[in-house]
């Protein structure tokens, strides 16, 4: 005695898999691992599906989305794709902010600060000589005091560092 296969229609298959009927059509057209159809319908005759084969196929699709890391942790490919999409969107947002000149790359800021620092160092280094020329009566020890203060200012400027912990990213 042959065992009769249990068959379901398109609407029941969609309900079983928790999707709309259009998803079934899309999945059936896949080149690799299409949705299994027990009997392909014709005009006026609906497709028939084997529920067990559908569930096996669906589980295989879901398992294909899950991968493991070197540490044996499971990664959900959909979640990873969403994370990647967010990173790409954030990158594009940053590029646009730079194009609008609302933000600047760190390398550009570092270069600008370095140029400003060099110009300030040159101006500061010239102060003792300019003071000596304008006030020739100042003694060498008084000029040396001015020179030490200039060197302190130059050293303080060299020690300046950006504290990224205090940067909020919002304009004041």
Whether the full predicted model's pTM is greater than 0.85, yes or no, is: no
CA distance 76 to 143: 70
| The pLDDT of residue 104 is above 90 | no
State pLDDT tens for residues 62-73: 887 777 677 767
CB 24 within 8 A of CB 10: yes
Query: Residue 159: helix, strand or coil by DSSP?
Result: coil
Is there a contact between 11 and 20 (Cβ–Cβ < 8 Å)? no
Query: Using one digit for the tens of pLDDT, what is the confidence trace for 124-161?
Result: 889 998 998 999 998 999 999 999 999 998 888 888 77
H helix runs in the chain, sequence order = 10-17, 21-28, 51-64, 77-99, 106-134, 140-158
- Cα distances (Å, whole numbers) of residue 100 to 41, 92, 105, 127: 57, 12, 13, 39
Write out the CATH class of domain 10-64.
mainly alpha
Identify the pLDDT of residue 17: 95
Q: Which has the minimum average pLDDT: 71-75, 90-94, 120-124?
A: 71-75
């Amino acid at each position: 005695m042959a065992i009769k296969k249990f068959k379901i229609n398109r609407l029941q298959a969609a309900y079983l898999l928790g999707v709309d009927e259009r998803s079934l059509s899309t999945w059936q057209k896949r080149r690799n691992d299409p949705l299994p159809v027990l009997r392909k319908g014709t005009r006026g005759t609906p497709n028939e599906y084997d529920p067990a084969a559908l569930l096996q196929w669906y589980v295989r699709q879901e398992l294909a989305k899950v991968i493991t890391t070197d540490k044996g942790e499971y990664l959900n490919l959909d979640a990873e794709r969403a994370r990647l999409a967010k990173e790409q969107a954030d990158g594009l947002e940053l590029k646009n902010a730079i194009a609008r000149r609302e933000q600047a790359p760190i390398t550009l800021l570092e270069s600008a600060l370095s140029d400003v620092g060099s110009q300030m160092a040159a101006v500061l280094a010239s102060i003792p000589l300019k003071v000596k020329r304008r006030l020739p009566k100042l003694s060498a020890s008084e000029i040396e005091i001015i020179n030490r203060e200039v060197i302190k200012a130059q050293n303080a400027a060299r020690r300046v560092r950006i504290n990224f912990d205090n940067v909020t990213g919002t304009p004041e």
